[in-house]
């Protein structure tokens, strides 16, 4: 048979897209190119072309391909990509932090010798993506662009999908090209991240179409016109199908058109013709390779085929000559010519033979010391129902994979459950596997599936199952209330269980009562939650469970301060006393005891943070994060991160807060957890606003709204309203507050004060001074009577703003300065800055210009040091009104920022390109302008922005974080 490889024609637009991709990375920025189309349409061929061009330009090339039959192997696509790590990668590893090396080693065999390779935590598997991102940045930092070519991404395993989604969401900084080839049907996380990358101008998506008749004529000029037309009709213009038909063309009659296993019968017949001419030994080697994997090691193919070394090598020679297999570049490792070839061979092999072949591969892997996860793929396909050793292997594989690939683990738990005998002897093991499967599904971001599994588990548990049943009910209620938003369903479940409990133990009653309290707290019903939490604490005390009592006391402490909406000193003292008591109960426990019900530390930290004890909140967040990671409770780790982020925001530690928010947003993507997405987006929005990145603040604020819907217990309303107010969108700010409630009753205490502050400023901007005054008068009650310490700066800003609007500049200056000093003492420098700016404005209005300048310069200095350019703008504006010309802030230009309002449409376009690092020549080519014209525009842009160099624009814009979008 003549070996023929069709030329690449009819792909002019796609080749133009690859040229643009190389231009982007040549200019120092990351880029994504996604090629999408049906099987055989030419995606892989284009990736090969792209790889050849990368080699021609001495770029670092990393290539991987997902395999259809290996989607249950964790990180399989990434492992294929980094297999046989290059010298450059090994060198870059030396620059990675120890934690990043450990994350890579935990997931990818190529890095095992560099780290211990302990598994990643549940729901912290985003840290593997962070390590991959950092590695790519290090590789690109040496001036050599990095090109990642990933084929058949639609077959990527769930763990790799998580990494790809995060790399698309927040790409590496530097010249890194991520080129993906995929069919339709990408997972939601990757599809959403890809769509956002395209919208943000960070990538391109190309849908490949069938070739035209003219293209086919160029491809096959030597064939007679009638034959060529027939092949074109039968292939439908699909390049792979056309190539297979051209390979097998010998003038024989063409089979009827049809579709079998996704491959047209006419193409299937051509492939079968190739295989039919093989010797028996060669065909067995080919079928053994199809069972072993793609790519596959020769030893495993030999085991599958049940052949000796000499026969395998002889068969291999025939397969290479027939171009059915191709070398991979690694010794004794081979690939199929195309995934469809492998699929056709696999499906055409005898069913019984395949079962035996998988069993032989599993045994060979066992002899080689392969991990249970590596063997499970073959064990699942060869095991008999009731085979207990196979069940144990699948469970071991699930436990091994649960941290990094919980979706895969859930599948293996299900496989074990299918094999498990349905009898009384194995009843308890079935319950145990169902519970583990539910946990894996929850960790994988499939809350509805996890809920269904736990409901199935409850149906199998007897009403008298006692403690075990109560624990499952508590877990299910938390899943319903926190993850799926079905607080009503959670409440019904808990009340049914409480009623059914009857004369159950105090411990069981305490757990269920606490779960009901927590569900009411989630719904913003804090008074009810307080009563129930105290009842739960009493029941736990009666049961002699100090750990459960401490947990209930922490819930009561959090509910108490939220329920306190008056300035009554007695009420404030009672709430504070509950927090102190809860802290004392927690402090009396050992670390292992705290870890038993670790959520207690989260709610204690939240209560402290939102009543002003930021130092205590930081300590709780740090302790909780360490315990969550040490005891492998990864589901709670991001909650402690966001607690730290909130405290860092108030303390003015903006960089630390931004890192926490980004990590939580990454976590929200891989876990599909809307609550995490909400918390992360809110904090990210506020940090962006503080830093002066108004567009980013708006995007994150809108994302927070989408995550939670309209929930009066959410801070998303005032967060988005604040961003819209800063963007000059008064109607939008008002709409956000109207939708969520200006000061939602379900908010935590400190959030109610912050919502009051935003509402007052919106009303003042609308000129509604009396309404603003009335709202400000509510601030002491919303603060629960807390007007000192960390609350002093917030309260002073509210009162001083109203006084200044009323024309009472003297009172405004006095209150603002008092608030600034109190905020300094409390360690909340951002509120001190707000107050000093107000004081400066009030003093200037009173004619005390020198004193005003002094306070404004103090604010300018302090806020600049913090990177709080969004707040600092107020000080600069006030100084300009006094005739000062302070140094222009070096903050990222933002197309939603007033500083760019003076730019023309063309100047705005050029500002974005300059910020992205394009040269004048590159901008000229892109916009079809002369370089001289571009130079004039760039000079005008820099002058209007008040910046001295174009490099500053690129450096600062590159630091802008991306927005996470709600999962579907």
Q: In angstroms, rounded to a whole number, what is the distance separating the alpha carbons of residues 777 and 719?
A: 21
Higher per-residue pLDDT: 502 or 146: 146
pLDDT tens for 232-259 read 887 788 888 777 777 766 444 444 333 3
Q: What residues contact 559, with CB distance under 8 A and at least 6 apart?
A: 517, 521, 526, 527, 529, 530, 533
Give the residue from 746, 769, 762, 836 showing the smallest Cα distance to 796. Answer: 836
What is 406-598's CATH topology? 1.25.40
Report whether pLDDT(109) > 90: no
Q: What residues contact 949, with CB distance under 8 A and at least 6 apart?
A: 942
pLDDT tens for 530-587 read 999 999 999 999 999 999 999 999 999 999 999 998 888 998 999 999 999 999 999 9
Higher per-residue pLDDT: 950 or 707: 707
* Contact between residue 809 and residue 832 where contact means Cβ atoms under 8 Å apart: no
How would residue 338 be classed by pLDDT, with cut points 50, 70 and 90? Answer: confident
Give the residue from 448, 447, 947 showing the smallest Cα distance to 676. Answer: 447
Q: What is the DSSP letter of 642?
A: H
Report whether pLDDT(889) > 70: no
Most confident of the ranges 80-94, 354-368, 445-459: 354-368
Give the SS3 label for residue 598: coil
What was the pLDDT predicted at 700? 93
Query: 898-957 belongs to which CATH class?
Result: mainly alpha
**Is 898-957 the same fold as 406-598?**
no
Give the SS3 label for residue 31: strand
Report whether pLDDT(231) > 90: no
What was the pLDDT predicted at 875? 93
pLDDT tens for 155-196 read 898 889 889 998 998 899 889 999 999 988 777 788 888 888
CA distances from 295 to 210, 327, 345, 730, 744 (A): 28, 9, 14, 59, 57
pLDDT tens for 368-412 read 999 898 899 999 999 999 999 999 999 999 998 887 788 889 999
The values of phi and psi at residue 256, to 5°, are: -65, 150
What was the pLDDT predicted at 878? 93
Give the residue from 715, 709, 663, 706 showing the smallest Cα distance to 686. Answer: 715
Average pLDDT of 893-906?
51
Report whether pLDDT(72) > 90: no
What was the pLDDT predicted at 545? 95
Give the residue from 369, 428, 377 showing the smallest Cα distance to 401. Answer: 377
What was the pLDDT predicted at 22? 92
Q: In angstroms, rounded to a whole number, what is the distance separating the alpha carbons of residues 439 and 446?
A: 10
What was the pLDDT predicted at 261? 43
Q: In angstroms, rounded to a whole number, what is the distance separating the alpha carbons of residues 941 and 900?
A: 9
CA distances from 48 to 15, 54, 55, 61, 295 (A): 12, 10, 11, 11, 17
What is 12-209's CATH topology? Rossmann fold (3.40.50)
What was the pLDDT predicted at 443? 79
Higher per-residue pLDDT: 222 or 451: 451
Average pLDDT of 695-701?
92
Average pLDDT of 611-622?
94
Report whether pLDDT(361) > 70: yes
- What pTM does this model have? 0.79
How would residue 495 be classed by pLDDT, with cut points 50, 70 and 90? Answer: confident
Q: What residues contact 350, with CB distance under 8 A and at least 6 apart?
A: none
What was the pLDDT predicted at 827? 95
Higher per-residue pLDDT: 884 or 413: 413
Give the SS3 label for residue 63: strand
Higher per-residue pLDDT: 202 or 499: 202
Average pLDDT of 739-764?
94
Give the SS3 label for residue 950: helix
Inter-axis angle of helices 950-957 and 931-945, nearest 10: 70
**Bridge partners, residue 206, by sequence:** 35
* Contact between residue 125 and residue 159 where contact means Cβ atoms under 8 Å apart: yes
Q: In angstroms, rounded to a whole number, what is the distance separating the alpha carbons of residues 318 and 285?
A: 10
CA distances from 205 to 13, 17, 78, 506, 590 (A): 12, 9, 21, 60, 54
The values of phi and psi at residue 124, to 5°, are: -105, 20
What was the pLDDT predicted at 892? 42
Cα 881 versus chain centre, distance: 44
Higher per-residue pLDDT: 900 or 690: 690
pLDDT tens for 808-857 read 999 999 999 999 999 999 999 999 999 999 999 999 999 999 999 999 99
Report whether pLDDT(418) > 80: yes
* Contact between residue 548 and residue 507 where contact means Cβ atoms under 8 Å apart: yes
What was the pLDDT predicted at 710? 63
Give the SS3 label for residue 180: strand
Give the residue from 596, 606, 758, 581 showing the smallest Cα distance to 686. Answer: 758
What was the pLDDT predicted at 306? 95
How would residue 967 be classed by pLDDT, with cut points 50, 70 and 90? Answer: very low
What was the pLDDT predicted at 186? 77
Higher per-residue pLDDT: 446 or 147: 147
Average pLDDT of 513-542?
92
The values of phi and psi at residue 550, to 5°, are: -65, -40
Pair type for strands 60-65 and 146-151? parallel
Average pLDDT of 654-678?
86
Q: 137-146, 446-455, 707-716, 863-872: which range is least confident on average? A: 707-716
Give the DSSP H or E segment for 18: helix 12-26
For all residues of the chain together, what is the average pLDDT? 85
What was the pLDDT predicted at 598? 94
Average pLDDT of 284-313?
94
Supply 680's token pair: 């992360």
* Contact between residue 512 and residue 497 where contact means Cβ atoms under 8 Å apart: yes
- Can you give the residue ranges of every domain in the chain? 12-209, 406-598, 780-884, 898-957
Q: What's the alpha-carbon Rg for the chain, to the nearest Å?
A: 32
Report whether pLDDT(904) > 90: no
What was the pLDDT predicted at 960? 42
Supply 666's token pair: 């990454």
How would residue 754 be classed by pLDDT, with cut points 50, 70 and 90? Answer: very high
What was the pLDDT predicted at 114? 64
- Decide: residue 645, CB within 10 A, 0-12 exposed, 13-18 middle, 19+ buried: buried
Secondary structure in 3-state letters for 205-250: EEECCCCCHHHHHHHCCCCCHHHHHHHHHHHCCCHHHHHHHHHHCC
Cα 748 versus chain centre, distance: 26
Higher per-residue pLDDT: 747 or 143: 747
What was the pLDDT predicted at 959? 40
Share of the chain above pLDDT 70, in %: 88
């Amino acid at each position: 048979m003549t070996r023929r490889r069709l030329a690449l024609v009819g792909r002019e637009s796609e080749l133009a897209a690859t040229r643009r991709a190389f231009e982007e990375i040549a200019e120092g920025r990351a880029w994504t190119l996604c090629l999408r189309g049906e099987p055989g349409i030419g995606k892989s061929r284009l990736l090969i072309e792209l790889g050849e061009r990368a080699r021609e330009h001495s770029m670092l090339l990393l290539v991987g391909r997902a395999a259809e039959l290996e989607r249950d192997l964790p990180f399989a696509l990434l492992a294929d990509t980094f297999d046989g790590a290059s010298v450059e990668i090994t060198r870059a590893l030396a620059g990675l932090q120890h934690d990043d090396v450990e994350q890579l080693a935990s997931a990818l065999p190529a890095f095992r010798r560099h780290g211990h390779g302990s598994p990643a935590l549940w729901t912290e598997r985003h840290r593997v993506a962070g390590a991959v991102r950092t590695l790519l940045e290090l590789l690109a930092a040496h001036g050599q662009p990095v090109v990642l070519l990933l084929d058949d991404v639609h077959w990527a395993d769930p763990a790799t999908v998580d990494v790809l989604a995060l790399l698309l969401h927040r790409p590496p900084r530097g010249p890194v090209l991520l080129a993906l080839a995929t069919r339709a049907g990408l997972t939601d996380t990757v599809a959403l991240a890809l769509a956002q990358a395209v919208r943000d101008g960070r990538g391109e998506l190309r849908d490949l179409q069938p070739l035209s008749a003219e293209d086919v004529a160029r491809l096959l000029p030597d064939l007679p016109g009638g034959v060529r037309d027939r092949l074109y009709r039968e292939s439908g213009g699909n390049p792979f199908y056309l190539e297979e038909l051209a390979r097998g063309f010998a003038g024989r009659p063409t089979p009827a058109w049809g579709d079998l296993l996704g491959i047209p019968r006419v193409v299937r017949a051509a492939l079968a013709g190739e295989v039919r001419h093989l010797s028996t030994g060669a065909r067995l080697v080919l079928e053994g390779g199809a069972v072993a994997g793609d790519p596959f090691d020769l030893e495993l193919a030999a085991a599958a085929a049940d052949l000796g070394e000499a026969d395998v090598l002889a068969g291999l020679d025939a397969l290479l000559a027939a171009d059915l297999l191709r070398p991979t570049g690694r010794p004794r490792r081979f690939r199929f010519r195309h995934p469809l070839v492998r699929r056709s061979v696999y499906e055409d092999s005898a069913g019984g033979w395949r079962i035996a072949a998988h069993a032989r591969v599993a045994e060979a892997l066992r002899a080689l010391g392969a991990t249970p996860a590596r063997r499970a793929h073959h064990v699942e396909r060869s095991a008999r129902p009731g085979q207990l050793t196979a069940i144990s292997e699948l469970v071991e594989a699930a436990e091994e994979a649960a941290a990094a690939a919980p979706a895969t683990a859930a599948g293996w738990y299900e496989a074990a459950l299918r094999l498990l005998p349905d009898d009384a002897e194995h009843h308890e093991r079935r319950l145990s596997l169902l519970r583990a499967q539910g946990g894996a599904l929850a960790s994988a971001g499939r809350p509805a599936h996890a809920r269904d599994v736990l409901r199935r588990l409850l149906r199998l548990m007897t009403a008298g199952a006692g403690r075990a049943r109560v624990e499952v009910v508590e877990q299910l209620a938390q899943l319903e209330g926190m993850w799926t938003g079905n607080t009503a369903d959670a409440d019904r479940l808990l009340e049914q269980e409480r009623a059914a409990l009857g004369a159950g133990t105090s411990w069981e009653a305490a757990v269920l009562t606490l779960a009901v309290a927590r569900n009411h707290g989630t719904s913003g019903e804090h008074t009810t939650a307080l009563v129930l939490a105290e009842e739960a604490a009493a029941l736990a005390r009666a049961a002699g469970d100090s750990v459960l009592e401490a947990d209930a006391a922490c819930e009561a402490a959090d509910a108490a301060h939220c329920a306190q909406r008056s300035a009554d000193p007695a009420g404030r003292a009672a709430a504070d006393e509950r927090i102190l008591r809860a802290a004392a109960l927690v402090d009396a426990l050992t670390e292992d005891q705290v870890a038993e019900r670790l959520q207690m530390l989260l709610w204690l930290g939240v209560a402290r943070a939102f009543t002003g004890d930021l130092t205590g909140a930081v300590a709780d967040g740090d302790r909780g994060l360490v315990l969550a990671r040490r005891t492998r409770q990864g589901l709670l780790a991001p909650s402690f991160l966001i607690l730290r982020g909130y405290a860092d925001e108030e303390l003015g530690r903006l960089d630390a807060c931004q890192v926490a928010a980004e990590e939580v947003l990454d976590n929200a993507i891989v876990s599909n957890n809307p609550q995490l997405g909400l918390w992360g987006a809110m904090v990210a929005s506020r940090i962006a606003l503080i830093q002066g990145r108004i567009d980013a603040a708006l995007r994150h604020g809108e994302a927070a709204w989408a995550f939670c819907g309209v929930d009066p217990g959410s801070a998303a309303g005032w967060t988005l309203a604040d961003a819209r107010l800063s963007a000059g969108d008064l109607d939008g700010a008002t709409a956000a507050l109207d939708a969520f409630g200006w000061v939602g009753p379900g908010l935590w205490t400190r959030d109610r004060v912050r919502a009051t502050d935003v509402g007052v400023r919106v009303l003042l901007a609308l000129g509604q001074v009396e309404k603003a005054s009335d709202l400000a008068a509510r601030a002491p009650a919303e603060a629960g009577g807390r007007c000192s310490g960390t609350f002093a700066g917030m309260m002073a800003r509210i009162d001083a703003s109203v006084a200044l609007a009323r024309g009472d500049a003297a009172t405004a200056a006095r209150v603002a300065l008092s608030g600034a000093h109190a905020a300094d003492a409390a360690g909340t420098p951002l509120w001190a800055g707000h107050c000093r700016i107000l004081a400066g404005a009030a003093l200037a209005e009173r004619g005390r210009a020198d004193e005003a300048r002094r306070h404004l310069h103090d604010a300018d200095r302090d806020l600049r040091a913090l990177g709080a350019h969004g707040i600092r703008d107020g000080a600069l504006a006030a100084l300009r009104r006094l005739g000062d010309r302070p140094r222009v802030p070096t903050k990222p230009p933002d197309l939603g920022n007033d500083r760019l309002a003076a730019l023309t449409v063309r100047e705005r376009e050029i500002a974005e390109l300059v910020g992205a690092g394009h040269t004048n020549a590159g901008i000229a080519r892109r916009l079809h302008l002369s370089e001289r014209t571009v130079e004039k525009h760039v000079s005008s842009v820099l002058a209007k922005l008040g910046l001295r160099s174009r490099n500053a624009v690129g450096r600062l814009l590159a630091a802008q974080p991306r927005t996470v979008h709600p999962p579907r």
